[in-house]
Amino acid sequence: MKKKVCHITSAHRRYDVRIFMKQCKSLAKNGYDVTLIVNDNKENEEIDGVKIISTKFEPRNRIDRFINARRKLLEKAIDVDADIYQLHDPDLLPIGNKLIRLGKKVIFDSHEDIPQQIKDKYWIPKLIRNIVSKAYEIYEQRSLKKYDGLISVTPHVVDRLKKINKNTVMITNYPIVDENEEIVRNPEKAICFAGGIGKQWNHDIILKAIENIDDIKYILAGKGSEEYFNKLKALKSWSKVEYKGVIPHSEVKNIYSRSIAGMALNYSTQAKDIGTLGNTKLFEFMEAKLPVICSNYLLWKEIIDKYECGIYVDPNNVDEIRNAIEFIINNPEKAQKMGENGRQAVLNEFNWDTQEKVLIELYERLSI
């Protein structure tokens, strides 16, 4: 008889790549009866063996999500009556605690280093962020030591969680790869980025870096705040930006095909100098045979050095970024080799198949 598995998210969309496309589909493919509970107003449906159940409730704000949505999610979770539950948001820890009291097995998937992330939350008054972070950390420790398994995306968070619960594994966000896909490359004199148009990706620094590079384009796709876009548009080199808006993934591949390098200049106070493997941007570029210009995070430097697939720089240093872009422009054969190396690294190591094995092994242990 199939083991029943239920994933629950309060904040992510029903087709979220990590939750639905990767984890839920992988579990269904490996013989589990899988349900995903989400907050939205869409109809229930079943896709590739995954039953998606909606609370028919879209929270108006965070308080609405933390209180009213949580109650509705718990009701749906109890109705599903699964053997194993997996939670994907920190506000769901009370649901996990309740399910454990009902005799259920529960996994928590920590997508971020949450206590550190809280310190960067703009919507929490700055004076109390450290207090909120510490309070959450204490509650997290008390809760997670009772859980049956923990998951996180990058080594330093896994190490922290292992001190709370020994049954902690790393399942990171490597891409789902089709090894038979033909990667088309038609590069122009363009660099690119597709994703969140926000301060953490240093788009303003990149625009300053390309100000004196003749005929360069910066192809951008994704959404961001009006405030940040206004900041970018005020810069002299905004005229070099080709902004595509929010586009489907098929069009993202076209952007990558047109570009000579992908820009992964992330800067995060929670990542510090270590960085994270949980962010997909680096691996998306590598998968597309794009040379990567990325932040000099320790984890990313190790990948770039090992596979010779790009250049790492200080993400806040305009001169270093400009020099890296100019190197790619002036050395097309080396740039092509970087792209080929990156693609091979993804095929060999940085792909979802490697992470699926860890996920299934965890569920098999809990299914005994």
User: pLDDT by residue (tens digit) across 94-115?
Assistant: 999 999 999 999 999 999 888 7
- Condensed to tens digits (0 to 9), the pLDDT of residues 37-95 reads 999 999 999 999 999 999 998 877 777 777 778 889 999 999 999 999 999 999 999 99
Between CA 224 and CA 190 the distance in angstroms is: 21
pLDDT at 118 exceeding the cut of 90? no
Q: pTM score > 0.75 for this model?
A: yes
What is the structure's pLDDT at 329?
97
Structure tokens at 314: 């200080």
pLDDT at 222 exceeding the cut of 90? yes
- Condensed to tens digits (0 to 9), the pLDDT of residues 128-148 reads 888 888 888 899 999 999 999
Q: Which of 76-80, 121-125, 181-185, 335-339 has the lowest mean pLDDT?
A: 121-125
pLDDT at 326 exceeding the cut of 90? yes
Topology of domain 190-348 in CATH is Rossmann fold (3.40.50)
Domain boundaries, the chain: 4-174+351-366, 190-348
* Contacts of residue 35, Cβ cutoff 8 Å, sequence gap at least 6: 4, 5, 6, 7, 50, 51, 52, 53, 80, 82
What is the structure's pLDDT at 44?
97
Q: Please, which pLDDT band fits residue 296 given cuts at 50, 70 and 90?
A: very high
What is the structure's pLDDT at 1?
66
What is the structure's pLDDT at 120?
75
The CATH superfamily of 4-174+351-366 is Glycogen Phosphorylase B; (3.40.50.2000)
Between CA 225 and CA 233 the distance in angstroms is: 12
pLDDT at 211 exceeding the cut of 90? yes
Fold match between domain 4-174+351-366 and domain 190-348: yes
What is the structure's pLDDT at 8?
98
Tokens 């206590």 belong to residue: 115
Q: Angle 267-190-252 (CA atoms, 0-180°, nearest 5)?
A: 75
Alpha-carbon distances, residue 159 vs 54, 56, 143, 145 (angstroms): 34, 37, 17, 14
Structure tokens at 248: 């489907």
Facing residues of 107 across strands? 86, 149
